[in-house]
Every structure is written in structure tokens, then in C-alpha cells.
Amino acid sequence: MIEVCPRCSCRLGSPLKSGRLVCANCGWSNDPPPSKRGVTETKRSPVVELLTVCSRIIRRTFVYVVQVIQTKIQDFRSARADAPPTGKRLVEGLSDRLNALEKAIPIASDEPRWLSIEEAFRYLGGDPSDSNSVVTTENGSTTIPFRRFRSLTSVTDFKAFGLDADLARRDAQKPWLRWTIEK
């Protein structure tokens, strides 16, 4: 049993209840301060435990959220991969419906529409942009290219092709030819 402090040589008092010797002068102790660590541990331990659990929960939640997001992204990708056929089906369905609608609309075939000279030539089966393309009169006696068809002026000439010519409309720069016989 030492009676003098090894650090400051002060006389040590009676030991503590724990048996530990402590110098009242310099604070020397014959024992490392386990009480301090113990107190800290017992004090902090529940907090540390709580923080550990919290961090585990946060980490687990994060992993879960990431997994959910990844799943959603995969679902989205596979949905997108399926999208073209779906879109195609949709377009096809729409196309079918529009075709049905087109057939449902009656064509006003009994009402001749007015044509420009180019349209009239095309209506007779010719191609105005092709100098070799020709059209023939109803009786088949005359065959002419667009160059000559364009220069026809008389109502009778157009009549031979089955067309009605309205010279007043022509002078007014409007489509002025209309078919009298449906082709």
C-alpha cells in the first residue's frame, strides 16, 4: 500500500470505497478511470444502439426504395418494349375504323366537280408532265398530248372528250372543265 503520490509526492489519504488510491493534490490515481468510461458507455449505449438501429432502418429503406425504383424502371422499359406493337395495333385499329368511315360516307358521283385543264387531262388518263402521254376522244378518232389538249378552246372539242367546258369560269381563272360521263 503506497502512502505517497508517485507523481507529486504528496501524502495520499485513505483509499476510496472501491479501494482506489487518489491523490487529492494532482489527481493521480492508481487505477485508470474506468468509471468515466463506464458511465459514458452506459450513458451512450442506448443512444448508440438507437442510432445503429436507425441507420439500419434507413439503409434498409434506401435499399428497398432503390429496388422498387429499379423494378419500376424495368417495368417501364418492358412496357416501352411492348409499346410499338401496342401502338401499331392502335394505328391499325384506327385505320380500320377510318376505312369503315370512308366507306360510310356516300360519294357524290352524280355531281360533277370542276377541274383545271391539268386535272381534266389526268382524269382522262393522261399525265400532264409527260410529253409522250396522250388522251383520246370518246369515239377514239383523235389522240392528243397535253401540249395540244391545253390549247383546245371550243366547247365542242372538249365535248368530244366527254367534258363540259365553261368558258366564263375559265376567264375567271376558276377550274372550268367538268366530266359528263363517269370514268
Nearer to Zn ion, 8 or 90 (CB): 8
> Shortest gap between Cβ of 39 and Zn ion (angstroms)?
23
Within 10 angstroms of residue 129's Cβ, the number of other Cβ atoms is 10
Rank residues 4 and 90 by Cβ distance to Zn ion and give the closer one. Answer: 4
CA gap 54, 130 in Å, rounded: 84
* Residues 10 and 4: beta-carbon distance below 8 Å: yes
3 or 102: CB nearest Zn ion = 3
Distance separating alpha carbons of residues 117 and 133, to the nearest angstrom: 15
Distance of closest approach, residue 64 Cβ to Zn ion, in angstroms? 58
Nearer to Zn ion, 4 or 66 (CB): 4
Q: Least CB distance from residue 15 to Zn ion, whole Å?
A: 14
What's the CA gap between 12 and 4, in Å, rounded? 5
Provide the binding-site residues for Zn ion, judged by CB under 5 A.
5, 7-8, 10, 23, 25-26, 28
Least spacing, CB of residue 49 vs Zn ion, in Å? 38
For cell 367546258, the residue is 165
- Cross-strand partners of 29: 22
Q: In angstroms, rounded to a whole number, what is the distance separating the alpha carbons of residues 156 and 145?
A: 18
Q: Which is nearer to Zn ion, 8 or 66 (CB)?
A: 8
CB–CB of 123/179 below 8 Å? yes
Q: How far is the CB of 60 from Zn ion (least distance, A)?
A: 53
